């Protein structure tokens, strides 16, 4: 999952300057209306999918813990370190997911700001194509990885 500039800034500030870390992260879904880049720093910089039918505005919580980030690795062979999110799953119920509009094209890890539009985007994953999930089906993101290469 590529970092945003804001995500790198927050990570460095938390580690080196003791800035407060969010209690919880969120994985949110976005349409293809606005493509992500390193400068798309808050949720309102992109277009979130419509809430409803199994998707809550702001996305699903990801615990800031060994449960939420279940893989944490130093890889000396490939000169990198990484963490992976535990699987994040949405199940369409009462209608297709998203409830209306374009499908989910991107997934973003954000902080926990109470105002969803102001949540800071840590990084965004391209799902390659717009995803629409029919009733009873799931959209699952598995092993989303944040990597630092040295």
pLDDT, tens digit, for every residue of 38-76? 999 999 999 999 999 999 999 999 999 999 999 999 999
Q: Is 61 left (phi over 0), alpha (psi -120 to 50) or beta?
A: beta
42 C-beta neighbours (distance < 10 Å), count: 19
* Residue of 14, 2, 84, 11 lying closest to 39 (CA atoms): 2
Q: Are strands 145-149 and 104-110 parallel, antiparallel or unpaired?
A: unpaired
pLDDT tens column, 11-33 = 999 999 999 999 999 999 999 99
């Amino acid at each position: 999952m590529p970092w945003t500039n804001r995500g790198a800034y927050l990570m460095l500030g938390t580690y080196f300057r003791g800035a407060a870390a969010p209690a919880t992260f969120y994985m949110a879904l976005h349409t293809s209306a606005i493509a992500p880049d390193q400068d798309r720093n808050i949720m309102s910089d992109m277009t979130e999918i419509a809430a409803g039918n199994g998707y809550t505005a702001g996305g699903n919580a990801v615990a800031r813990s060994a449960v939420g980030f279940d893989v944490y690795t130093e890889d000396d062979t490939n000169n990198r370190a990484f963490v992976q999110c535990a699987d994040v799953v949405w199940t369409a119920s009462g209608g297709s997911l998203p409830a209306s509009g374009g499908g989910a094209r991107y997934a973003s890890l954000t902080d926990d700001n109470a105002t969803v539009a102001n949540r800071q985007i840590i990084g965004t994953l391209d799902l390659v194509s717009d995803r629409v999930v029919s009733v009873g089906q799931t959209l699952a993101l598995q092993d989303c990885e944040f990597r630092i290469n040295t």
